[in-house]
């Protein structure tokens, strides 16, 4: 039997891809993630990744407005090694947002 050692990637369908990217460009950069884009079925996908994990934004196809308590992903929480690392990532995010 093989043991799962972690999550490789996560896909998130968003209504406004450019708006989501504007936020993630800052937030994920503050956490040391790189960015690339690719297409699947002619649809733009934006991936943020590091050596452990990939977070991919893709365009949503219709559906109701977001309800955080409907079935599906509620939120994603990323863990850093130290509280100091968290403070540094938040400071980088805030400084970038002010530019």
pTM score of the predicted model: 0.78
Task: Report residue 78 as tokens.
Answer: 């990323």
Predicted confidence at residue 97, as pLDDT, reads 62
Q: Identify whether the C-beta of residue 28 lies closer than 8 Å to the C-beta of residue 48.
A: yes
Task: Report residue 23 as tokens.
Answer: 């936020």
User: For residues 42 and 61, which has the higher predicted lDDT (pLDDT)?
Assistant: 42
| Beta strand extents in 1-99 (DSSP E only) | 9-14, 34-40, 43-49, 54-59
Q: Is the pLDDT of residue 22 over 70?
A: yes
Q: Residue 49: which pLDDT band, with cuts at 50, 70 and 90?
A: very high
Give residue limits of the domains in the chain.
9-62+76-98
Predicted confidence at residue 32, as pLDDT, reads 92
């Amino acid at each position: 039997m093989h043991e799962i050692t972690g999550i490789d990637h996560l896909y998130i369908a968003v209504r406004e891809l450019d708006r989501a990217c504007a936020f993630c460009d800052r937030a994920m950069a503050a956490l040391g993630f790189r960015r690339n884009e690719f297409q699947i079925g002619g649809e733009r996908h934006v991936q943020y990744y590091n050596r452990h994990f990939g977070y991919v934004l893709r365009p949503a196809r219709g559906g109701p407005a977001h309800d955080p308590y409907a079935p599906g992903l509620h939120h994603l929480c990323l863990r850093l090694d130290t509280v100091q690392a968290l403070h540094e990532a938040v400071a980088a995010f805030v400084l970038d947002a002010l530019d």
